[in-house]
Amino acid sequence: MKALIKRWCHPDNRDHLFVILIAIMLAANLTVSALTMREGLPGFPGFPGWQVWRLALFTSPVVVLLAYVYRDLASVTLRVMAACWLILAAFYLVGGVWFWAMPVPSPKDILFFAGLTTGIAYFFTLFFTLLNLRV
């Protein structure tokens, strides 16, 4: 057991874990986006939701591969993505306490933050690739 813990505490394995977590978060973003867009967005008539979802679906493996190549920086990408979702959760928590009601997330907010966190992953991994950054 000690050897297993030592192996997982090694920096290389932690970096692989961050890449796996980025892949899981991208998959969660796609799932949440698909479930949100299934009914359509009443505020955006004619919004091409499925095209956006398909584009994200086909380009997410590229992000995961780039995150693996630059796995020493994957923790930064994951932390920024998680911070965005925590900001959304805090917004609804504060709103629920302030108005003393159970908040129901707006589909626009969910889509915006799913797109934002996916975009952050694209930006960071492409930025690391273009600048050839290494830590």
- The rounded distance, in Å, linking the Cα atoms of 56 and 47 is 15
Q: Is 17 helix (H, G, I), strand (E, B) or coil?
A: helix
Please name the residue ranges forming H helices in 39-106. Answer: 49-69, 74-99
Q: Is the full-model pTM beyond 0.75?
A: no
Domain locations in the chain as residue ranges: 2-131
What Cα–Cα distance (Å) separates residue 33 from each residue in 12, 45, 96, 106, 116?
32, 17, 23, 12, 12
Instruction: Count other Cβ atoms within 10 Å, centred on residue 17.
Output: 15
Asked whether 47 and 41 are in contact (CB, 8 A), the reply is: yes
pLDDT per residue of the chain (135 residues) written in tens, 0 to 9:
566 566 656 666 666 777 777 777 777 777 776 666 665 555 556 655 565 666 666 667 767 776 677 666 777 777 777 787 788 778 777 877 777 776 666 777 777 777 777 777 777 777 766 776 654
**Amino acid at site 124:** F
Give the count of alpha carbons within 13 A of 59, CB side only: 14
Q: What is the 8-class DSSP label of residue 101?
A: S
- The rounded distance, in Å, linking the Cα atoms of 61 and 95 is 35
Instruction: Count other Cβ atoms within 10 Å, centred on residue 116.
Output: 17
